[in-house]
Amino acid sequence: MHSLLLVLGLGLMWVLLSGHYTTLLLTLGLISCLIVWFFSQKMDLVDHEGHPLHLKPIKLIMYSAWLGVEVVKSNFDVARRIISPSLPIRPRLLTVPTSQKTELGQVIYANSITLTPGTVSINLRGREIEVHALAQAPAGALLTGDMDKRVTSIERPQPEDPRAGQR
């Protein structure tokens, strides 16, 4: 299933990005997709993390939109702190607990933290992420657990995932 989705996804991207629908270009696109698929199989890159079928697609889209809004809001906050000397910049380190059921969920959470201006994920160990925050406001937003809950809601644990039953 993962291999089929890889070839279909690559083919769809080829068609959408090329804008040309001649037989020759479609054939070359198909050949290119099959070559990429072949080497991906040989390198053992096609797995459940590369094609996360276990994520809930609608929730993932909703989360991505929410994250986009949060990134924009954080950009404005950081820009205001840079421009206005009256707004405090007090860097701090904090440890944020994770509630994700899979490693992929934890990575999505850590990357989401880093994508949000004013915060950077430094270390992911066990069920905690060490985060550097630019000020109290971004740190406080993480400590509410809203982003953590949203990331957890997009994942569906895999039966073969040994960590799924431990949480």
Specify the pTM: 0.69
Number of structural domains (the chain) is 2
Looking at the DSSP assignment, which residues form a beta bridge with residue 49?
none
Residue type, 83: I
CB atoms within 10 A of CB 110: 22
Answer yes or no: is 14 within a domain: yes
Taking CA atoms, 127 is separated from 14, 30, 53, in Å, by 39, 42, 23
Same domain? For 155 and 105 the reply is yes
Q: Quick one: average pLDDT of 51-60?
A: 74
58 pLDDT more than 50: yes
Q: Does one domain contain both 34 and 82?
A: no
Q: Identify the domain containing residue 75 by its residue range.
A: 57-166
Assign 53 a pLDDT band (cuts: 50, 70, 90): low
Same domain, 33 and 63: no
Query: Which pLDDT tens digit goes with each residue over 78-102?
Result: 999 889 888 888 899 999 999 998 8
Q: Give a yes or no: residue 49 inside a domain.
A: no
Q: Are residues 73 and 18 in the same domain?
A: no
Residue 164 has pLDDT above 50, yes or no: no
What pLDDT was estimated at residue 124? Answer: 93
